[in-house]
Amino acid sequence: MNKLNVAVPWNQSRYIPCNGFHPLYRPLFENNPFLSFNVLDEVAFARRLAEDNAYSDEIFEQVAQMPEPFAEKYGDLPLARKLADHITRDELWLTSELPGDVEFHHTSPLTNGERPFVFHCESFLPIFMPFANQGRGAIKNSGELRKFYGRLLGSENCLGIFSHLPETLDQIRSFFRNDQINEKLRRSRIGLADRTLKILLDARRETYSERPMFLFTNSAHQNPRSFALRGGVISLLFAERFLRSGREGLFIFRTARPTDEELRGWGIDLAFMHSLENRKIIWLEGHLSEHEQLRLFMTADILLLPSINLHSVTIMQALAAGAIPVVTDTYGPDLYVKDEQNGVVLKGVRDAVWLEDTVERVIADKHQNFKGLMAGLVEQMYGRITVLIDNPQYLLEMRACGRRRVKQEFSGTAFRDQISEEIVGLWRDHKKKRRVKNSSRHGLALLDTDELAGLFESPTQPYLVLNTEYEKVYSCKGVFFYCARETTVHGLDQFSVLATRRKRQLGAEGIKIAAVFRDLEVHLLSLEKIGRDSGSLTLKLQYRLMEWTRPYPIVFSSLKKVYFLSRKTRRLFSLDGIADVREWVRPYPAVFSVLKGLWSIQLKVRQAFSSK
């Protein structure tokens, strides 16, 4: 059976606020028998742009010839002009060059609708990003939003609108009041990738622990604001309440530790907190691989997630691993968690935070109302969780119920097949079928299927891996971005290949992109690690040369490459290097023989000088 070609632009910079390759959608990409996904290879594209001026000039000429974004179909709508600042010509051109009969978009329909597309969303308000989002209360400019997005989603090229939450579909109906849109609404399944599900379900669990382990996980990008919104502050206050009572427990916070000033502002007893850190309260900072993250779920007894909004993947992973989720009654968690059956549901968030907009007939959350609920939620947590811990049999029954439920109802394969078959059916029914676009006119390199896993395991938003006085390295959307101090591109543009090339910042000029961190070694100023106070006259001279040439990017970059190669050469002919390289080249007799002779001469020279 021929698969339907699907263009997936999720690793473009405009998708960063939507979390790009969000793990919620990972099951769709695993052994899909119906859809073939086309995703840009950013590293290969960046390399060609930086090295081939004629190629990049041709692309920018093509981009310049494009009409103003959204002008043709939406030019009469004020919102279209505003959206053009967020979805640029560069990115619209890049999306149009991705092979595919259909585009797949999620969270927000970031498209001009020129090609048939399908759209999946978890929540209602993020549909309107960047003009509306969760937490702001009543919707502003609702008339403009309804006109623009109503025309886009009601167009013939919008084939289907999916969500796994019935409340989201209901809100779309209420807000747009558009029969064309209503006909496209479809309830989808949801689930964990089968590989993840198997790992978690196969994990053996202790029957009962006298010292329960509590787990809180922040978002992958560890935004400090997300810490509070996901219930991190409430979880810390609960930990303080729980441990002050004399009970035993271990609290793992997989998140960047807030500052003492932030903790004090939230009402945390700093002296008590400091006395428990690294003993009963552990901070796991830094990005964890999927394997490491899953191990945390497999060892935790209880997941603390008293958040304002829904976090589907975290809840499903906890249920599958046997970690009992503690959630709030916000919209969405009730799809997964049934109070007193497979988890704990804290009351009060839905009534206090989610407010009905009677004019627009939708509900919107107001995050500032959450702070007043914290004390009450902490007391609810203490009462509900201590009852659970004091009744081991009840805890084990709840754990078993959660694992059964996720196995029966949240299969990634079922989710994948259901939505994929519907997309294929919608495409077949589409009146304006297009010839399959098998290749890009400009030879865009595409990622292989087995390379897509890295996109889902990478931070969905820029995560700072390295920060020195002179350079920064970010990890995001499956690649690493090196940004020199001289870089003048900021914001989302510094994570856009075309934007950085257009501003002459890509390559030797300041921004480099690599699939793995070690490929950036040649660009990193290793002399900074040695320091200014080295006793070596040679190193001091090298350091001064780097400082003097820094204002001249091409010379500076070339000098760093020379130093990098010289370090590699010194390593090759060091005693430690000889031992390593000897093993590498042993299978190649000719090379081994030559190097063996050089090493022998070098050893004799060393001995001669050491004897003097």
DSSP annotation string for 390-414: T-HHHHHHHHHHHHHHHHHH-BHHH
Average pLDDT, integer, range 443-447:
85
Q: What integer pLDDT is reported at residue 589 of this predicted model? A: 56
Q: Is residue 558 part of a domain?
A: no
For residue 539, pLDDT over 60 is answered with no
Do 173 and 252 sit in the same domain of this protein? no
Three-state secondary structure along 20-46? CCCHHHHHHHCCCCCEEEECECHHHHH
For residue 326, pLDDT over 80 is answered with yes
Q: What integer pLDDT is reported at residue 565 of this predicted model? A: 55
Between CA 423 and CA 83 the distance in angstroms is: 27
Range of weakest confidence among 16-25, 405-414, 496-505: 496-505
- CATH number at 393 reads 3.40.50.2000
Q: Is residue 204 part of a domain?
A: yes
Q: Is residue 566 part of a domain?
A: no
Do 343 and 227 sit in the same domain of this protein? yes
Q: What integer pLDDT is reported at residue 117 of this predicted model? A: 96
Q: What integer pLDDT is reported at residue 538 of this predicted model? A: 54
Q: Is residue 14 part of a domain?
A: yes
Range of weakest confidence among 164-168, 199-203, 253-257, 573-577: 573-577
Distance of CA 262 to the CA centre of its chain: 25
Do 592 and 490 sit in the same domain of this protein? no
For residue 190, pLDDT over 70 is answered with yes
Q: Is residue 568 part of a domain?
A: no
Q: Is residue 600 part of a domain?
A: yes
Between CA 120 and CA 18 the distance in angstroms is: 12
Closest listed residue to residue 109, CA positions, set 70, 67, 66 = 70
Report in angstroms the alpha-carbon separations of 96 from 81, 178, 461, 585.
20, 28, 24, 47
Between CA 133 and CA 136 the distance in angstroms is: 7
Range of weakest confidence among 483-497, 513-527, 575-589: 575-589
Q: What integer pLDDT is reported at residue 152 of this predicted model? A: 94
Backbone angles phi, psi at 6, to 5 degrees: -125, 125
Predicted TM-score (pTM) of the model is 0.81
Do 437 and 501 sit in the same domain of this protein? no
Do 60 and 138 sit in the same domain of this protein? yes
Closest listed residue to residue 151, CA positions, set 222, 76, 218 = 76
Q: What integer pLDDT is reported at residue 568 of this predicted model? A: 47
Give the model's confidence band at 235: pLDDT under 50 very low, under 70 low, under 90 confident, else very high.
very high
**Cα angle value 276/282/285 (rounded, 5°):** 140
Range of weakest confidence among 225-239, 406-420, 589-603: 589-603
316-346 CB burial, b ≥16 within 10 A, e <16: bbbbbbbbbbbbbbbbbbbbbbeeeebbbbb
User: Which residue type sits at 551?
Assistant: P
* pLDDT tens per residue across span 398-443: 999 999 999 999 999 999 999 999 999 999 988 655 554 444 555 7
Between CA 388 and CA 382 the distance in angstroms is: 10
Q: What integer pLDDT is reported at residue 34 of this predicted model? A: 96
Give the model's confidence band at 354: pLDDT under 50 very low, under 70 low, under 90 confident, else very high.
confident
Residue 490 burial by CB count (10 A; 0-12/13-18/19+): exposed, middle or buried? exposed
Q: What integer pLDDT is reported at residue 528 of this predicted model? A: 46
Percent of the chain with pLDDT over 70: 79
Give the model's confidence band at 40: pLDDT under 50 very low, under 70 low, under 90 confident, else very high.
very high
Between CA 547 and CA 386 the distance in angstroms is: 60
Residue in the structure block whose two tokens are 């043709």: 72
Strands 479-484 and 471-476: antiparallel
**Which structural domain, as residue segments, surrounds residue 236?**
194-409
Between CA 294 and CA 193 the distance in angstroms is: 13
Between CA 428 and CA 425 the distance in angstroms is: 5
Stronger pLDDT, 571 or 321, i.e. the higher one:
321
Contacts of residue 343, Cβ cutoff 8 Å, sequence gap at least 6 = 319, 324, 325, 326, 327, 336, 337, 398, 402
Stronger pLDDT, 200 or 468, i.e. the higher one:
200
* pLDDT tens per residue across span 450-480: 888 888 888 888 888 887 767 788 888 888 8
Average pLDDT, integer, range 521-539:
50
Contacts of residue 305, Cβ cutoff 8 Å, sequence gap at least 6 = 216, 217, 230, 231, 311, 314, 315, 318, 325, 326, 327
Do 38 and 68 sit in the same domain of this protein? yes
* pLDDT tens per residue across span 116-170: 999 999 999 999 988 877 667 677 888 889 999 999 999 999 999 999 999 999 9
Boundary (domain end) residue, out of 393, 421, 449: 449
Q: Is residue 560 part of a domain?
A: no
Do 264 and 290 sit in the same domain of this protein? yes
Do 14 and 143 sit in the same domain of this protein? yes
- CATH number at 40 reads 3.40.50
32-65 CB burial, b ≥16 within 10 A, e <16: bebbebbbbbbbbbbbbbbeeeeebeebbeebee
Range of weakest confidence among 217-231, 304-318, 323-337, 578-592: 578-592
Containing 318, the helix (H) or strand (E) segment is helix 312-321
Q: Is residue 557 part of a domain?
A: no
Average pLDDT, the chain: 82
Q: How many residues comprise the chain?
A: 612
Do 210 and 182 sit in the same domain of this protein? no
Strands 324-328 and 302-304: parallel
Residue 69 burial by CB count (10 A; 0-12/13-18/19+): exposed, middle or buried? buried
Give the model's confidence band at 577: pLDDT under 50 very low, under 70 low, under 90 confident, else very high.
very low
Between CA 547 and CA 544 the distance in angstroms is: 5
Do 39 and 130 sit in the same domain of this protein? yes
Do 389 and 488 sit in the same domain of this protein? no
Boundary (domain end) residue, out of 449, 471, 504: 449
Give the end-to-end CA distance of the chain in Å, rounded to a whole number: 78
For residue 482, pLDDT over 90 is answered with no
| Phi-psi domain of 523 (left: phi exceeds 0; alpha: psi -120 through 50; beta: other) | alpha
Long-range Cβ contacts of 497-501 (<8 Å, 24+ apart)? 497/42, 497/45, 497/46, 497/49, 498/49, 498/59, 498/63, 498/90, 498/91, 498/93, 498/94, 499/13, 499/88, 499/90, 501/46, 501/49, 501/50, 501/56
For residue 552, pLDDT over 70 is answered with no
Stronger pLDDT, 518 or 387, i.e. the higher one:
387
Q: Are 118 and 426 in contact (CB under 8 A)?
A: yes
Average pLDDT, integer, range 253-279:
90
Q: Are 363 and 355 in contact (CB under 8 A)?
A: yes
**Cα angle value 43/218/496 (rounded, 5°):** 25
Boundary (domain end) residue, out of 422, 449, 476: 449
Stronger pLDDT, 600 or 367, i.e. the higher one:
367
Positive/negative CA dihedral, 385, 389, 395, 399 = positive
Instruction: Give the number of domains in the chain.
Output: 4
Between CA 482 and CA 457 the distance in angstroms is: 19
Q: What integer pLDDT is reported at residue 79 of this predicted model? A: 84
Range of weakest confidence among 18-22, 55-59, 278-282, 436-440: 436-440
Containing 514, the helix (H) or strand (E) segment is strand 511-514
Do 369 and 438 sit in the same domain of this protein? no
